[in-house]
């Protein structure tokens, strides 16, 4: 391909809607080639493309700053075609300088030469091919920095105890996945930080550097890479997630069944095998527990961080959910509700106690003994298990509802002005039909109206005994 512009009668096309730009460049071209130069000018993209097609200019000069001549479209057309004409994208500066942004089939020396007759300064921002190898050096260096930072961040995160102690068999695969994700997080963090930091320091604009960066339209290779890699990562992680979930659900042949009931705002644990109901969850170590979870009102979520696994509790008999936990470490933990469920959500927690099989058997014996003989102890248990204590104190402290201390035998004035003495019948009515008799100073409709159905008669009479005992 012949790169030179003919000295005799060169055809020059100037594309700009700006008359000053056109005038300035015409002058330069004439200074360079003399009056023999043939000059045409165009003012829009389509006009420019049409003239290029029909007139076949030797040189095209495009106004870089002009909005009515789309340089992108123009360049695209030019690059796509097989024309040997020469193109210079220039920007005229207020100072009188000329900035060349892009050119084709013209070496920097030729541009220098071409403009040498004018007094303009000339700068080129095109990256010559020889810069390639030094850019590979930048990549290699940044790559090493990314690896080093990844290692350090991962070291920091994995030693800074983000998770509490691992106390169940099901926690193992989950923690393995966490380790992997922490490596991925460290890598992504480092990748972004190193590239931003490196660019800010190494490629900082030097004083006096005025031109724009190199123009490029798109980079297919880069776009394919940044689509395929995240896609692969997401698919890979979902596969690992599914495998891990499967591992946490592996069933032992004879698990200990525990029915877990959540309500506003209490936890209740029932052991059908033993006929025990408790407000604390006891678990023998190294034996799988099969939790059957259900809610009495809204959605709650069973979460003991040390066990890692978590499960929502949904209201409704047909929506009982299962969760398998094999505790591996004796100790006292806490179940907390992980689903915002109302005002006392944050306090909805109960002890979870992992003990040896022997201690567990003793606990079962003790529970059965308490429940078998003493109605007051049973009543205390039922009151706790049904969440009464989130509104009623047993020690005189003010709460949502009246305290139970000293309630029995007290004379209360009802909203209609009548006075009654609190006896067993009053307590019974107060529990199964709370709105029937509301004491002055209390708000009706706050206490749940559903205990008549959800608590058995025997249990309610135990609760009455318990309230009676609180003098
Ligand atoms: C959401 C809060 C709340 C819960 C939970 C709750 N109560 Fe109440 N309770 C109240 C309020 C408020 C009153 C006073 C207004 C009324 O009598 O309805 C009250 C009144 C009572 C009274 C009558 C006290 C008096 O001075 O007249 C008894 C007895 C009682 N509750 C027992 C229970 C029992 C037993 C439970 C659990 C099975 C329970 N409550 C659960 C809020 C609650
Ligand atoms: Cu809850």
**Residue identifier of the C-alpha nearest atom 23 of ligand 1:** 430
> How far does residue 431's CA lie from ligand 1's centre (Å)?
7
Residue 282 and residue 262 share a domain: yes
Domain boundary among 192, 215, 248: 248
Atom of ligand 1 nearest to the CA of 443: 15
CA angle 306, 308, 309 (to 5 degrees): 135
**Residue identifier of the C-alpha nearest atom 13 of ligand 1:** 401
Residue 219 and residue 163 share a domain: yes
Task: Give the model's pLDDT for residue 146.
Answer: 95
End-to-end CA distance of the chain: 109
Task: Give the model's pLDDT for residue 322.
Answer: 93
Helix (H) or strand (E) holding 284: strand 281-284
**For residues 416 and 425, is the Cβ–Cβ distance under 8 A?**
no
> How far does residue 433's CA lie from ligand 1's centre (Å)?
10
**For residues 354 and 330, is the Cβ–Cβ distance under 8 A?**
yes
Residue 265 and residue 242 share a domain: no
379 alpha carbon, closest ligand: 1
Question: Do you find a cis peptide bond into 196, omega within 30 degrees of 0?
Answer: no
> How far does residue 277's CA lie from ligand 1's centre (Å)?
22
Residues in contact with ligand 1 by the CB-under-6-Å rule are 383, 386-388, 390-392, 400-402, 407, 412, 427, 430-431, 434, 438-439, 442-444, 446-448, 451, 463
Tell me whether residue 1 is in a domain. no
The CATH number of the domain holding residue 342 is 2.60.40.420
Instruction: Tell me which residue range forms the domain holding 290.
Output: 256-373
Residue 300 and residue 268 share a domain: yes
> How far does residue 448's CA lie from ligand 1's centre (Å)?
8
Q: Strand, helix or coil at 429?
A: helix
**For residues 347 and 300, is the Cβ–Cβ distance under 8 A?**
no
Residue 462 and residue 429 share a domain: yes
Task: Give the model's pLDDT for residue 125.
Answer: 40
The CATH number of the domain holding residue 35 is 3.40.50.2300
Ligand 1 binding pocket mutation candidate from 402, 457, 463, 470 (most atoms within 8 A of CB): 402
Domain boundary among 373, 402, 418: 373
Distance, CA of 71 to chain centre = 40
Average pLDDT per block of 10 residues along the chain, 471 residues long:
58 84 81 81 84 80 77 64 62 64 50 43 41 74 94 92 91 92 93 93 82 76 92 94 93 91 91 86 94 93 95 90 94 94 91 95 87 83 85 89 91 88 91 89 87 85 92 85
Task: Give the model's pLDDT for residue 129.
Answer: 43
Number of domains comprising the chain: 4
> How far does residue 40's CA lie from ligand 2's centre (Å)?
79
The CATH number of the domain holding residue 403 is 1.10.760.10
Residue 17 and residue 114 share a domain: yes
Domain boundary among 231, 248, 265: 248
């Amino acid at each position: 391909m012949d790169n030179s512009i003919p000295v005799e009668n060169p055809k020059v096309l100037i594309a700009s809607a700006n008359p000053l730009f056109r005038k300035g460049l015409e002058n330069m071209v004439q200074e360079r080639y003399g009056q023999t130069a043939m000059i045409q000018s165009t003012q829009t993209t389509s006009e420019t493309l049409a003239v290029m097609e029909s007139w076949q200019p030797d040189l095209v000069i495009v106004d870089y700053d002009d909005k009515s001549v789309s340089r992108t479209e123009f360049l695209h057309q030019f690059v796509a075609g097989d024309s040997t004409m020469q193109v210079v994208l220039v920007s005229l500066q207020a100072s009188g300088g000329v900035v060349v942004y892009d050119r084709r089939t013209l070496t920097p020396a030729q541009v220098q030469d071409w403009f040498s007759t004018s007094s303009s300064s000339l700068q080129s921002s095109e990256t010559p091919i020889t810069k390639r190898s030094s850019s590979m050096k930048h990549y290699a260096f940044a790559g090493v920095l990314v690896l080093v930072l990844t290692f350090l961040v991962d070291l920091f995160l994995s030693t800074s105890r983000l998770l509490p102690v691992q106390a169940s068999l099901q926690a193992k695969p989950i923690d393995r996945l966490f380790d992997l994700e922490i490596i991925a997080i460290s890598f992504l963090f480092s990748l972004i930080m190193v590239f931003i930091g490196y660019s800010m320091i190494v490629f900082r604009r030097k004083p006096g550097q005025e031109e724009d960066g190199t123009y490029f339209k798109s980079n297919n290779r880069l776009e394919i890479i940044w689509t395929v890699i995240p896609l692969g990562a997401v698919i890979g992680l979902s596969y690992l997630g599914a495998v891990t979930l499967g591992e946490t659900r592996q069933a032992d042949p004879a698990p200990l069944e525990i029915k877990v009931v959540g309500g506003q705002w209490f936890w209740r644990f029932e052991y059908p095998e033993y006929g025990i109901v408790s407000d604390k969850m006891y678990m023998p170590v190294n034996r799988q527990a099969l939790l059957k979870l259900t809610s009495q009102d809204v959605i709650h979520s069973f979460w003991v961080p040390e066990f890692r696994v978590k499960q929502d509790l949904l209201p409704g008999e047909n929506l009982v959910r299962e969760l398998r936990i094999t505790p591996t470490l004796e100790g006292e933990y806490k179940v907390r509700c992980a689903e915002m469920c109302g005002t006392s959500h944050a306090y909805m927690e109960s002890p979870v106690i992992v003990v040896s099989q022997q201690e567990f058997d003793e606990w079962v014996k003790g529970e059965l003994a308490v429940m078998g003989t003493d109605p007051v102890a049973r009543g205390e248990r039922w009151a706790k298990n049904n969440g009464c204590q989130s509104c009623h104190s047993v020690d005189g402290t003010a709460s949502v509802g009246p305290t139970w201390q000293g309630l029995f035998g007290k004379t209360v004035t009802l909203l209609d002005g009548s006075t009654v003495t609190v006896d067993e019948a009053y307590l019974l009515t107060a529990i199964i039909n709370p709105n029937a008799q509301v004491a002055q100073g209390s708000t009706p409709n706050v206490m749940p109206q559903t205990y008549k159905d959800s608590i058995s008669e025997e249990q309610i009479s135990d609760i009455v005994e318990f309230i009676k005992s609180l003098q």
